[in-house]
Structure 1
Amino acid sequence: MKPDITAVNQLLNEASAIVNDDTVVPYEGNDYKVGIDLGTADIQTIILDGNNHPVACYLDWSDVVRDGVVVDYFGACQIVKQQLQRANQRLGINIEQAVTSFPPGTDSRISVNVVEAAGIEVTDVVDEPCSVAALLQLDHAAVVDIGGGTTGTAIIEKGRVVKSVDDPTGGHHITLTLAGHNGLNYEEAELIKRQDKSGDVLQVVRPVIQKMADLVKAHIAEHAPPVIYVTGGCCALHGFAQVFSNEFPDIQVVIPSQPIYLTPLAIAAFSTTETAQLVNRGGYV
């Protein structure tokens, strides 16, 4: 029986329902939380209320970040600024602080610098899979965050993150494979990947997904987690879940209802209080 993440799925569905919605909905109080996720394929800002329910959610597809490195600093800052402005206008608030993240093994200051350049204070920074581990309050499990350019794996034992690593593979590599196979440019292949509902893309990129799984297998081999939670927009590819799960016949693989929103939701919910206790504050090992 797979672990129940019904409550988290409900939060993800709420985020999906309001993404890029600028309808004015004044927010009462100052207990909101802000998370900013600078991804390779997209940048997201999500605002939660005091009970971690999404009240604003913004997503812009972009290529200003590659494998955890900002290649278009001005572009990244502008997107973050615009998303924060839209959130302020929607909720009638003035956001001054946020939490942000970084892929394991990369310099966390890169994300911090972009967010601070957008004019707000970074109160905390956490690596992406560790933020998900904290949100789910895991005791013994692995979290795999498949981003646009990297795949991060965090291993949790006895409620502590004991290992967090990153591999240079993700949705970007699926798009490149699809483009090469079909003789398309990158933008055309990316659009086909996002819109595919037939499973045709899967037949081409299956080996890439299996390679991702092989990398994860190597990281978790000595830890034997009973369950793997997988997140990231790449997981929404038609058929991805089945192919990835098939590579772990003896381990439960859980993919949430709206995987593209799980990491930014977890980043926003992250704090230095109870949820963050799962993370080794002395550093990631």
Structure 2
Amino acid sequence: MSTDRTLRDFAELIRSGDVLPAERRAPGPLKIGVDLGTANLVLAVLDAANRPVAGTTYRSTVVRDGIVVDYIGAVRAVREMKAALEERLGEPLIRAAAAIPPGIHSGSTKAIGNVVEAADFELAEIVDEPAAAARFLGIADGAVVDVGGGTTGISVLKGGEVLASFDEATGGTHMTLVLAGARGVSFEEAEAEKLDPAAERDVFAVIRPVADKMASIVARFLEAYPDLDSVHIVGGACSFSDFEQVFAKQTGRRIVKPAEPLLVTPLGIAMFPQATGEK
């Protein structure tokens, strides 16, 4: 199954609240990815063959730029999402992985893990967000940019290993702040307008300087890797239709954006190796 098809199937499971029937799942324990984003929390449930089984999202402000700023709120939100999925599935969810932006402080990494464990999961691993996205996309060699709510993370991979990573505190939240200032409205009103598909063209005209800044950050980082022809971009903040054009112009490289870019990283997080040595 193609990655875009998998993403669309997962998005439909979230939208509908359905689950993949047990008879269609690969035998083995379910795997869970916990994506604690600045604007969105996502829980992804996969079967042993890494096929989407169920998922849910939650708009939240408990994390900022990869740092848990409301620990109690984060634990409560993840517990509620876990309980809702367990009710749909009719079985407990046990092992989960989480992710962090590249280069985050070790204390913040520990806090992310603590949230997952406090929500009654066994912590399987903590992975860099762009590396998780690369795992889902099947990228062994190339560059992955994860444009989240609070940060833009970049990872360069070779032979499946991360050669270099970088993270800049510029993301979707900064787009909303620019839009709020231009419109003279509250952050919440600007966020609602940013997420309105009918307003996309007008919104992007205002927030394009933020996208230009993100693209320039990526372009500078990739100057050390002139042989990289393609850059894969994921994350909710890159959902605008014209986003790829801005990055292509700034970087001079082919930009690849999958369907449902917000959901790439949580699916990659959930694709952690099983204890049996699955690779």
Identify whether the pair has TM-score above 0.5, normalized to the shorter chain. Answer: yes
Following the alignment from structure 2 to structure 1, what is the Cα–Cα distance between the partners of residues 263 and 139? 19
Separation in 2 of the partners of 1:122 and 1:160? 22
**Structure 2 CA distance for aligned equivalents of residues 109 and 26 of structure 1:** 35
Taking only aligned residues, the RMSD between alpha carbons, in angstroms, comes to: 1.8
The one-letter code matched in structure 2 to 1:132 is: A
Structure 2 counterparts to residues 20-99 of structure 1, below 5 A: 21-23=16-18, 27=22, 29-99=27-97
Runs in 1 of length 4+ with deviation above 6 angstroms? none
Q: 1:24 and 1:255, CA in 2 relative to 1: closer, same or farther beyond 3 A?
A: closer
- CA offset at residue 72 of structure 1? 1.0
Q: 1:157-215, CA deviations, whole angstroms, 9 ceiling, x for partnerless residues?
A: 23321001110000000000000001010000001001133400111111110100111
SS at match of 1:51: coil
CA displacement 1:69-110 (0-9 Å, x = unmatched): 111111111110011111111111111110111111113212
Q: Residue 166 of structure 2 corresponds to which residue in structure 1?
A: 165
Cα distance between partner residues in 2 of 1:131 and 1:108: 15
Number of equivalent positions = 269
Cα deviation, 1:114-141, whole Å, max 9, x if unaligned, reads: 1111111101110100111223332321
Q: TM-score, normalised by structure 1?
A: 0.89
For 2:165 and 2:42, locate their aligned partners in 1 and report how far apart those are by CA, in whole Å: 22
* Gap change, CA 1:33 and 1:203, over 3 Å in 2: same
Unpaired stretches in structure 1, ≥5 consecutive residues: 1-5, 276-285
1:7-63 Cα shifts (integer Å, max 9, x gaps): 111110011101154446653644321100000001010101222221111000111
The answer as to whether partners of 1:25 and 1:90 remain within 8 angstroms in 2 is no
Q: Do the aligned partners of 2:215 and 2:246 also contact (CA within 8 Å) in 1?
A: no
**Alignment of 1:16 onto 2:38:** no
Residue aligned with 2:44, SS: strand
**Runs of 5+ in structure 2 lacking a partner?**
none
- 1:141 pairs with 2:136: no
5 Å-filtered alignment, 1:233-252, equals 233-249=236-252, 251-252=253-254
1:220 CA drift (Å):
1.2
Question: What's the % identity of the aligned pairs?
Answer: 39
2:235 corresponds to? 232
d(CA) in 2 for partners of 1:123, 1:221: 35
TM-score normalised by structure 2 residue count: 0.91
Matching residue of 2:205: 203
